[in-house]
Structure 1
């Protein structure tokens, strides 16, 4: 184990000059502003590595390459942040010795629990659990076959119970006797093979508010809003941003698959820029499909969104911080998921450094 640690350290050090050089040559997210010199950018990144023992791959997307603007000290180092987040969230009840984050990571347990404690109208309705080639219908408390579930034409949103991001998320539909997976024709046998040895939940397909359709109607566009429980028990909002699908052929809004992240201010207004993840581009001021300008665009039901996530967090009383995925329907906001392993990277890209605010809210 010690030799492996030494080997990984040597590997990291040997790779460092090439990583920094790639950042120096990398595209600026803010070409309209004056950029630091190459030697300054190199030194910034070298000092970051020495101090935080990691490469700051998001140096350019965080705007740290811009002269006289943001300071690296304003930002949470990713590895240190992850350790602190996991420590705060992995709080075991000493008497019973179990970890409450399991209630967030199992999507079936999460939806069932919150539907009961805060109301069925506050969570995306779960229709069924697919387990060992059987479908458990929640409304009837009984198991049926997949064939019987699709006896009539129906359309459901399907996701693996322990997936992350857009992993194993798809739309299943039976229409006019044919089966479709993400609009592509398939068979019942192929569906069974795809879902073999895993557990999935079937949920209603969300109908989003017209204000979100106006920006992009090819995907359900969700809000990521993070809440933090302070030392006093008070729950506050750290950060929020809107995730948008950016292509007509994608029904998911995940930034890791090419979507956009647009910051949201305290009153529910979108900020100026939508940001791509590093491999897909930099930033834009309007949506690439609808041409909707982001800055000042008002999201509906914003006070209700904030109230919903604060109430939901209170039901996870041993978890310090949660990144919530929220959809806005014509009737108001509903919860999709709660994530204990939410990331600070997109939050800091859309808003700037959150280091001071993170510690302030943890200690509040």
Structure 2
């Protein structure tokens, strides 16, 4: 019998990638769980057994239990319908987005797809050339004047930038086109002057709202979760390693009284400014919701999208970026979920018997 070495090699690489993916999630969830349990006590043994059984019965593997334990520890109980973050990445993302989700990593595509003024894009650098938002090439001698216009500060974000990496704050006087050419393709955006409600938390970086929208089986676009991301003192932009996250009530726009540091330690005020979360309502919240729902309706073939939105001084909605690949669902699930229980995502996993038959 002839052995298909290439097929076996591909299968081995795929298994190794899957192992590393789930191992990374297990380690991350384990660190977070220990932080939560130090403050709230350990999960009861019967809850742990329930979670292990649920992970295997519903999702097909105990490897999905770690995030369920995190969600349960934060809530003090287990809730059916939660989606583990690694299940979302391994199963839901490829089945509900396919290759279309990758479009969002290309920053130049936002204006082409949406053509919406809520994106603060003012230009792009792609494959050696500078462009305006209407795809006109900017000559090297006009780059600085065109990009900065009437401002002294702009932002530049690399393609596929995430978690605060690949983001640069640029000043007119020190702007160097050669630097941009050395770092790669990306988008130039006007620098948002955020609403005073967010300035009270931290004036050094622009606060963003992460909205999670989905396409329901009927085709309806709906909002499922929202949380506020705040930077720390002295940081020019939000970074995942130090951010403060606060859940937002999607019905009212009110902040939850409790926020979380990047290690999921709970806090009731911003650690630097000492501004409390209780009693704060997000400005222009309804406008933000309308905008992300409208934008998602233009790409209904992408099942779930995370939108990073800022609100400016004049209550203007500014969509800084969108993530249509593995956008963050774990914080929303833990603080507001189950957020996706009616979508049937648990049924997307491959039928085990079919997989076994194919590999026999």
Scaled by the length of structure 1, what TM-score is found? Answer: 0.75
Other-structure match for 2:131: 136
Q: How many Å separate the matches in 2 of 1:21 and 1:60? A: 8
How far is 1:59 from its partner?
5.5
Aligned residues: 325
- Structure 1 unaligned blocks of 5 or more: 91-98, 181-187
Alignment of 1:70-149 (within 5 A): 70-71=77-78, 73-82=80-89, 83-90=91-98, 99-114=99-114, 116=115, 119-120=116-117, 122-124=118-120, 126-138=121-133, 141-145=136-140, 148-149=142-143
Moved more, 40-49 or 290-299: 40-49
How far is 1:113 from its partner?
3.1
8 Å Cα contact 1:275/1:350 also seen in 2: no
Alignment of 1:218-237 (within 5 A): 218-237=204-223
Other-structure match for 2:336: 351
335 and 193 in structure 1: CA distance in 2 versus 1, 3 angstrom threshold: closer
149 and 344 in structure 1: CA distance in 2 versus 1, 3 angstrom threshold: same
Q: Which one has a larger percent helix, Structure 1 or Structure 2? A: 2
How far is 1:28 from its partner?
2.3
20 and 277 in structure 1: CA distance in 2 versus 1, 3 angstrom threshold: closer
Q: How many Å separate the matches in 2 of 1:49 and 1:232? A: 27
Other-structure match for 1:337: 321
Q: Deviations over 1:199-253 (max 9, x none)?
A: 12111011111111112111111001111111211111111111111x2122222
Q: How many Å separate the matches in 1 of 2:14 and 2:318? A: 48
Q: How many Å separate the matches in 1 of 2:72 and 2:170? A: 41
Other-structure match for 1:276: 261
Q: How many Å separate the matches in 2 of 1:157 and 1:248? A: 18
Among 157, 160, 166, the residue aligned to 2:155: 157
For the residue of structure 2 that corresponds to 1:215, the secondary structure is coil
335 and 20 in structure 1: CA distance in 2 versus 1, 3 angstrom threshold: closer
Q: How many Å separate the matches in 1 of 2:218 and 2:29? A: 45
Moved more, 76-85 or 295-304: 76-85
Matched, 1:242 2:228: yes
63 and 7 in structure 1: CA distance in 2 versus 1, 3 angstrom threshold: closer
How far is 1:78 from its partner?
2.5
How far is 1:171 from its partner?
0.6
248 and 200 in structure 1: CA distance in 2 versus 1, 3 angstrom threshold: same
8 Å Cα contact 2:102/2:324 also seen in 1: no
For the residue of structure 2 that corresponds to 1:54, the secondary structure is helix
For the residue of structure 2 that corresponds to 1:356, the secondary structure is coil
Matched, 1:214 2:222: no
8 Å Cα contact 2:211/2:227 also seen in 1: yes
Q: How many Å separate the matches in 1 of 2:53 and 2:284? A: 44
